[in-house]
Structure 1
Amino acid sequence: MTTPAVPATPRIPEAVHRRRWAILGVLMLSLLIVVLDNSILNVAVKTISTPAPVGLGATQSELEWAINSYTLVFAGLLFSAGLLGDRLGRKKVLLGGLAVFGIGSALAAESGSPAQLIAFRALMALGAAFVMPATLAVLMNVFEREEQPKAIGIWAGGVGLAIAIGPITGGLLLDHFWWGSVFLVNVPIVITAIVLMVWLVPDSRDPAPGRIDPIGVVLSVVGLVLLVYGIIKGGELADFTDPTVLATIVGGLVVLAAFVVFEKRSDHPSIDVGHFRNKVFAAAIGVIALVFFALMGVTFFAVFYTQSVRGYSPLQTGLLMLPLAVAQLVFAPRARLVVDRFGNKATTTGGMLVIAATLVAFATLDENTPIWVLEVVFFFMGAGMAHIMTPTSVVIMQALPREKAGSASALSNTFRQVGGALGIAVLGSVLSAAYRTGIEDKLGAVPAGLRDTAGESIEATLAVAAKLGPRGDSLVGAADDAFLHAMHVTALCGAGVALVGAVVVALFLPGRPKEAEETAQDGELAHTES
């Protein structure tokens, strides 16, 4: 006796399935503000470093902390935020995260000092930490598995859109309004996203959610803050042998080691260390960290190159960065086709090598380089990025079950943010130390009380030169030369990191699936016979 076949029931409710692309649009809008904020800030850092009333007079180390207070809180809370979304419902967590992010943005816009800006950026990160993993988790729950790579490609393209909109929007705002407008612009986007989310997005949760790990969260945040503080302080002093610097860096590494030991022994870890036994998963996560390490450090100095050395306005700088975003928008949704043809390993290794080549190209730029050369470099950088993020995101998200989508998203974004934070800290410190070393012997005409301040960054040198009047004219050329040398050293360090990423990918990521290889071989054979 045969059992009659039971028709397969869709895993996703039909009403949700029908509006899945509209839901993706809302998720991308939510993602947009999280990425938009950082890309806007990249253009605004020079303005914020300008003394009041134009800016806040932030030093280079304070600028690094304005960026890293966001990235460290974001990275430290992402995994717990993903678990809370799995437990409480992703829609509720998304709405709450957006509300906190909007409030933090409004407060950051009214900051009266660099310290306040750093604190309110941390509040914004608290909200963003609940937004980012939930968007990808909802995406994984409203698309069937065969559509997930396409949806993830479009989602990744949203990052490119934010990168495109951010610098241009920031430039327009800074040309017409005060520096705080780059944060206030988030508020109407947040309100729009909340309204659309209430209307369209379904709630979902993990039927067997994990437990929250407060001790792990505290250890990871404390360890990262100590490590990054030590690195930034070392760059500020141009002395990594200073006892305070060494003690802070070692303390951070010890706390992070304790975090790993605790996570391995915990029955409800923030990060399941067991996932990293899978070499493919570990390589994909690692390469995301490495590429953002290299790129975030480069973006930090690129703004000073275009504005301080080349004399472009914030809006012009935003427009100059457009090729980076256009390349991501063009290539991110199509990268999966390259993966289908050549496999994850070849595609991602090629992307990493392109990134390394663009960073080497930065080491050749000077104050007279034709600007179209920079545009070409930015375009290839965006193209390389697109062919890294899409395949690695698919590998990571499909390595874990659908119910653990929040955890997979959180892991991916945690390592992306940690990589970016360390990139800004390490490469920013390399830039700072190399600049101070290059400018110190040119500060003889500067009053003794101002020499230490003048050596902090190119903006600090130019500000002191302006105060000295005609006596400071000679400092301008010296500052440009010292900055260009520091930029070249920093770019080559970033290129070295990108090459390490290329080796990791080439060794551990999977190549073309056997099925795809056999199909391609059959097609080639048929073509030969015909």
Structure 2
Amino acid sequence: MRNAHATVTETRNPRRWLILGVICLAQVVVLLDNTVLNLAIPKLTEDLGATTADVQWMINAYALVQSGLLLTAGGLSDRYGRKRSLLIGLLLFGLGSLAAAFSQSAVQLIAARAGMGIGGALLTTTTLAVVMQVFDGRELPKAIGLWTAVSSLGYATGPLIGGVLLAHFWWGSIFLINIPVALLGWLAVAKLVPESKNPEGEHPDLIGALLSTIGMVGVVYAIISGPGHGWGSANVLVAAGVGLVALAVFVRWELHVPHPMLDVGLFRNRRFNGAIAGGLLVAFGMGGSIFLLTQQLQLVLGYGPLEAGLKTAPLALVAVALNVAGLGAKLLEKAGTAMTITIGMVLNASGLAAVALLGTAGRGYEWMLVGLLVMGSGIALAMPAMANAVMSAIPPAKAGSGAGIQGTVSQFGSGLGVAVLGAVLNSRFAALLPVGIGAGAAGSLYEALAAAPTPELKAQVHNAFADGVRDSQLIGALAVVLGGLLAGLLLRRAARSDAAAALPAESGRGSRSGS
């Protein structure tokens, strides 16, 4: 037994914790950008004349391109090298950030964000895959917990850094901060991260990548455009039809192509299905609600960018503190994956609902703070457990593909949450606008306020927007709690099924040993 233990210890990379630090630095590059961009929404609407739909596309252009390429990026990193994928991803992300910083229009910024999504796909899949390669056994949940903690730290520091930049510089500076972080990450990866790959891995499925990207873009375009063009308009119906057909063809293609980007066999694993189904709803609620939170703080409560950044920080900081303390890993060991995810997401949804109902102009910030702290506690418990549930159901040789699936669910769910909850906000805002404000002004709060001729009408416009934000946040909270309950239920059933399947095997071994 001692020899076996010594063999396991010797095979572990002695620099694995330092490597985890480098991996987390690469992860921070992606997260900094997304959190800062949410904070810059009011600036973008003013300086670039961006509508709410434009802003949704600035966020979703990145998420959708990344979602469409994650599965292919995961397979490529498995086959051609995870270290190589990290280096290329950091380079592309840095170049895309440079282009975004100097964009002169909403269309240019959307295009630059789409380019950044290519680099983000390589980074998102590879960071978690490398963690799976250098850690094993009881260290793995702790490593994933720290990886999640650093992700939360990105959410915390992003608004703070972004708030300082937006208070003193033009909005393009929020993209320039990615460049030194990407450069430092590139040098650290080149020096410290070992190369790992599976040369016998699957060939790239470029047709699958194209079909999935077209499908997701079509569906999300229809959702974003619905409030402005009308749900029965040709634009919306054609986009939705193209998206749904492309997704259907994608599924058929993956079932028959020799080297699919999506290993359909993974969906025979009930534990995998439970984590994926719950993760989709959780990402939907969280992505859309964070998108709304920054608008609530700035456009409803009237805080400036720096103040808004400071006031969102407690959410992420409590998640970081609890993950560094190992609370999520300890609960996971004692209560199991299903219960940990359920507890975490119920806490998360409760916090979201509290922020929606208590974060109003008539109340102090301390009421919202309670909701943010509860949200952060839920994230600290649920997110590492969710990632561990997905990755533990996947063979190590397919770590990149597994991380691609996990990332695709997270990014697509988040992008869909921004689109759907943004559409709910637009629809509610338009429906609640006072008589006399043209329907064309419903595209953004600034346009509606400019169209309101009197202080009384301006106050009504502001209240209509606040009510739309609140209603959308409550829908996000409902999605989160449903996601947590669904994941917990499916994972609990999978655990029972695995236990039942193990009993006959153990009985058989006992009978043979007795004879």
Do they fold alike, i.e. is TM over 0.5?
A: yes
Which letter does structure 2 place at the counterpart of 1:489? D
Kept after mapping to 1: 8 A contact 2:66/2:117? yes
The number of aligned residues is 494
Distance 1:95 1:15, change over 3 A: farther
The aligned residue for residue 447 of structure 1 is none
Q: Give the secondary-structure state (helix, strand or coil) at the position aligned to 1:319.
A: helix
Contact 1:340 1:512 in 2 (8 A): no
- Of 270, 286, 289 in structure 1, the residue corresponding to residue 280 of structure 2 is 289
Out of 45, 49, 52, the position equivalent to 2:45 is 49
Structure 1 residue 59, shift from structure 2 partner? 0.7
Return the letter of the residue paired with 1:338: L
Partner of 2:198: 206
Contact 1:357 1:495 in 2 (8 A): yes
> Which shows bigger deviation, 11-20 or 274-283?
11-20
String of CA shifts for 1:125-152, please: whole Å, max 9, x gaps.
Answer: 1111111111111111112333111111
TM-score scaled by length of structure 1: 0.89
Deviation at 1:513, TM superposition (A): 7.7
Deviation at 1:510, TM superposition (A): 3.3
- Please, which moves more after superposition, 453-462 or 379-388? 453-462
- Is contact 1:80–1:217 with CA below 8 Å preserved after alignment? yes
> Does residue 1:158 correspond to 2:140, yes or no?
no
The one-character-per-residue Cα deviations of 1:301-349 (angstroms, maximum 9, x if unpaired) are 2212111121101010001101110121022342011111211121111
Shift of 1:201: 0.8
SS at match of 1:202: coil
Residue 215 to residue 143, structure 1, CA distance change in 2 (3 Å): same
Aligned position for 2:244: 253
Aligned to 2:231: 240
Match of 1:478 in 2: 460
1:241 match: secondary structure: coil
Shift of 1:220: 0.3
Tell whether 2:485 aligns with 1:503. Answer: yes
- Kept in 2: contact 1:343–1:512 (CA 8 A): no
Letter in 2 for 1:382: G
Deviations 1:44-89 (A, max 9, x none): 1111111xxxx21111000000000000001111111111111111
The separation in 1 between residues aligned to 2:389 and 2:372, in whole angstroms, is: 26
- Secondary structure of the residue aligned to 1:321 is helix
Q: Is 2:441 the counterpart of 1:454?
A: yes
Matched, 1:226 2:208: no
2:322·2:380 contact (CA, 8 Å) conserved in 1? yes
Aligned residue number for residue 147 of structure 1: 139
Indicate conservation of the 8 Å contact 1:153/1:334, yes or no: no
Of 430, 436, 448, which residue of structure 2 is paired with 1:436? Answer: 430
Measure the CA separation in 2 of the matches of 1:458 and 1:327: 32
Unpaired segments ≥5 residues, structure 1:
444-450, 466-470, 518-530
Aligned partner letter, 1:263: E
1:2-30 per-residue CA deviation (whole Å, 9 max, x = no partner) reads xxx99559788969722111111110000
Q: Does 1:385 align with 2:376?
A: no
1:24 aligns with 2:20: yes
For 1:355, give the aligned amino acid: N
Aligned residue for 1:18, secondary structure, equals coil
C-alpha distance in 2, partners of 1:11/1:204?
A: 20
1:346 to 331, 339, 349: 339
Deviation by residue 1:399-418 (Cα, 9 ceiling, x = unmatched): 11211111111110110000
Amino acid aligned to 1:428: G
Paired residue type of 1:168: L
**Which residue identity does 1:414 align to in structure 2?**
T
State the 4+ residue runs in structure 1 displaced beyond 4 angstroms.
5-16, 511-514
Structure-2 separation of matches of 1:442 and 1:384 = 44
Task: Determine the structure 2 residue equivalent to 1:524.
Answer: none
Q: 2:313 aligns with which of 286, 307, 322?
A: 322
Cα shift readout 1:181-235 (whole Å, capped 9, x = no counterpart): 0001100111111111111111110142111111110110000111000000002
SS in 2 for 1:455: helix
Q: CA deviation at 1:503?
A: 3.0
After superposition, the C-alpha distances for 1:498-522 in whole angstroms (9 at most, x for unaligned) are: 23213312321138989xx9xxxxx
Matched, 1:184 2:176: yes
CA distance in 2, matches of 1:194, 1:12: 30
DSSP 3-state at the match of 1:368: coil
Deviates more, 1:398-407 or 1:248-257: 248-257
What's 2:502 paired with?
none
* Residue type at the aligned position of 1:47: K
Contact 2:351/2:370 (<8 A) preserved: no
Is 1:36–1:166's contact at 8 Å kept on the other side of the alignment?
Answer: yes
1:513–1:270 Cα change, 3 Å:
closer
1:148-185 CA distance string (max 9 Å, x none): 11111100111111000001110000011100000011
Partner deviation per Cα, 1:89-114 (whole Å, 9 max, x = no partner): 11111111100100000110000000
Between 7-16 and 471-480, report the one with greater CA deviation: 7-16
Aligned residue identity for 2:280: A
SS in structure 2 at match of 1:364: helix
Q: Closer, same or farther in 2 for the Cα pair 1:11/1:441, shift >3 Å? A: farther
> 2:94 touches 2:182 (CA, 8 Å); kept in 1?
yes
Q: Could you tell me the percent identity over the aligned residues?
A: 39
Aligned to 1:371: 365
- 1:367 is paired with a residue whose SS is coil
CA distance in 1, matches of 2:322, 2:470: 28
Give the TM-score normalised by the residue count of structure 2: 0.91
SS of the aligned residue for 1:290 comes to helix
Q: Is the contact between residue 271 and residue 495 of structure 2 (CA under 8 Å) also seen in structure 1?
A: no
Give the C-alpha shift of residue 272 in structure 1.
Answer: 1.2
Amino acid at match of 2:419: A
Q: CA deviation at 1:269?
A: 1.0
Change (3 A) 1:98 1:14: farther
Determine which of 88, 100, 107 is the counterpart of 1:108: 100
Q: Which moved more, 1:147-156 or 1:360-369?
A: 360-369
Supply the distance in 2 between the matched residues of 1:382 and 1:415 (Cα, whole angstroms).
21
1:100 and 1:506, CA in 2 relative to 1: closer, same or farther beyond 3 A? closer
SS of 2:433's equivalent? helix
Q: Which residue of structure 1 aligns with residue 509 of structure 2?
A: none
CA contact (8 A) 2:282 2:481 kept: no
Question: For the Cα contact (< 8 Å) 2:28–2:150, is it kept in 1?
Answer: yes
CA RMSD of aligned residues (A): 2.2
- One-letter amino acid of the structure 2 residue matched with residue 475 of structure 1: L
Distance 2:158 2:2 in 1: 51
SS state of the match for residue 303, structure 2? coil
Moved more, 322-331 or 160-169: 322-331
Deviates more, 1:364-373 or 1:454-463: 454-463
Where does the alignment leave 5 or more consecutive residues of structure 2 unmatched? 500-515
